Amino acid sequence: MNRSLITAARGDKKLDLAIENVQLVNVFTGEIYPCAIGISEKTIVHVTKPGEITLDAKTRIDGQGKYAVPGFIDTHVHIESSMLTPSKYAEVVLPHGTTTVVTDPHEIGNVLGTDGVRYMVEAAKNLDLRILTFAPSCVPAAPSVETAGADFTPEVIEEMLRWDGIDGLAEVMNYVGVIEEEERMMGILEAAERSGKIAQGHAPTVSGRDLSAYLVAGIDSDHECRTGEEALEKLQAGMFVEVRESSFSFNMAPLAAVIKNLGYVPNVCFCSDDVLASDLLKQGHINHVVRRAIEEGISPINAIRFATLNAANRLKRTDIGAIAPGRIADIVLLDDLCTVKVSEVFTAGEHVVAGGKLIKSQEQILTPATYLNTIDVPTLSKNDFTIAVEPNCREVTVRVIEYDYSPGIPTNFMEVTLPVKDGEIDLPSYNGKKGPLNLVGVFHRHGKNQNRALGILAGFGVTHGAVATTVAHDSHNLTVLGVDKDDMALAANELKKGKGGMLAVKDGKVIAHLPLPLAGLMSLESAETLTPMIEEFVEVLQREIMPGQNPIMRLIVVTLPVIPKAKITDIGLVDVDTQELLPLVIGQMVNS
């Protein structure tokens, strides 16, 4: 207990700061009224009665009648997906009113192991953005069907949960393992239970008795709802539904259609999950999610409650999430409630954003050189992308990963019969309902083994050349999509030379490169510098290689074996629902 705060609250000690003449959005009562906010030693110690708009303090700031809301909270994000380091990430989200994020560093953990997680913990220190780092529960995400750069066993997780700076257990993606009581997942959940720290969920399409089993295991949140029906079932079960609006998943519209009819719901909060630096810079962060909620019919006050008080309650934090005595002074002033235009931001009572601009730089830590060279793959040739079959075959039936299968099931398997030419499958001869087929190759890049797998894709939209990436959720092995095997080999080899990121090749020439040297996932540049690089890469990709919307999304999700239903890893094709490996070729016709 800090007695000096009691003294300041009582009025017998002068306040450090008063933010006067604001319209308080009271997230407890749903009211809006004029008041003043008194701050002492980073803490809100007094909020005046409605109509009282002045307070005596050492420093007094005129809020000019702007709306005062608590700092926004992102309950689930992967900072690495922004392609920014934590300090550069803080610099771009603070001006949007975000003061707290819960980050799961499993992207870098899959590449660099516990050293990568430790890097993110250290990089989060001394920032004005409060970064709550959770221990990655799934490295790799699906250990029975893929290999990553590390293996976080229950013993590793138990030790990590003891670290200073680890605040919980990050999204438990292996929901099949939880529901079926797989020993590894039981050990990880038991470690979290012993630590007394919360566990985050990831349960796409999980319903009925399976959902009950997942909840009974101690996991009470999910950010993977894609339909209103799914969200309603989870809300009714008492689960925290973290409504996601990201660069790749746009879930607000279908979920808001249900939520807006329920009024104030205590177990709805917001998250961003995966948002590119370019979108953070131009669209915003949680303020963008709040804005989208309002656009879809959720009341402004409830939308703000979901992004503040509800989020704090979900995190079991009573020191943030509201403007009230005893809470940390994370305060955002908005010019407009419906457009959520941010003017001023205070974090722990310090004025860090003025007039919508960051006025305090954030500290960047030194990045070890070994973290900037993480692609351990031999030089590849076109033969590494050849799907060979028996010489006397004339056609084969294969499993193909179909993209955009349905709103709740992004991918599924389809069966296609293809001719054989010169001892290999002849892809160019096929042009079905999802357009031409693409080749995909996944190559283990972490030096643990020599695994590699080839597959066939439909609906991913590569029309020319090839594109390679080391951002390939969540094991982040080197992944190449294409229609020309020579271009695929060149793309892989050139990306290795560039130390990671994304690279496109057409007609034997590199036409676009997005360098991400830190673990093959992140840049060391600012959002302002990185944004035009991302935009140029996407523009060239859409024009020359992958026409259509969101090409990066199509590129990076084909390897994620915890999102239904069909994926490919460095081991082979994966049935996500059963966590089983499946053969590519399922039938063949031989010459008589």
Domains of the chain plus CATH, in order, are 1-95+278-363 (2.30.40.10), 371-590 (no CATH)
Could you identify the residue written with the tokens 């020319």? 464
Distance CA 303, CA 475 (A): 34
**pTM for the structure as a whole:** 0.95
140 cis-preceded (ω within 30 degrees of 0): yes
> CA separation (Å) from 447 to 150, 361, 370, 452, 533?
10, 37, 14, 12, 29
Distance CA 546, CA 554 (A): 9
Show the DSSP H helices in 56-171 as ranges. Answer: 86-93, 106-112, 114-123, 154-160
Comparing CA positions, the residue from 522, 521, 519, 560 lying closest to residue 202 is 560
Distance CA 562, CA 142 (A): 7
Comparing CA positions, the residue from 447, 443, 441, 518 lying closest to residue 482 is 441
User: Please, what is the average pLDDT of the chain?
Assistant: 95
Determine the pLDDT at residue 407: 67
Determine the pLDDT at residue 491: 98
Determine the pLDDT at residue 294: 98
Which of the 8 DSSP states describes residue 517? -
Which residues in the chain land under pLDDT 50?
Answer: none
| Helix or strand holding residue 437 (H, E) | strand 435-443
Residue at 405: amino acid letter: Y
Q: What is the pLDDT of residues 344-360, one digit of tens each?
A: 999 999 999 999 999 99
Q: Are β-strands 67-70 and 478-482 bridged in parallel, bridged antiparallel, or unpaired?
A: unpaired
Distance CA 171, CA 79 (A): 14
Query: For the packed helices 286-295 and 252-259, what is the interaxial angle rounded to 10 degrees?
Result: 60
Q: What is the pLDDT of residues 5-56, one digit of tens each?
A: 999 999 999 999 999 999 999 999 999 999 999 999 999 999 999 999 999 9
Determine the pLDDT at residue 183: 96
Show the DSSP H helices in 174-251 as ranges. Answer: 175-179, 183-195, 208-216, 228-236
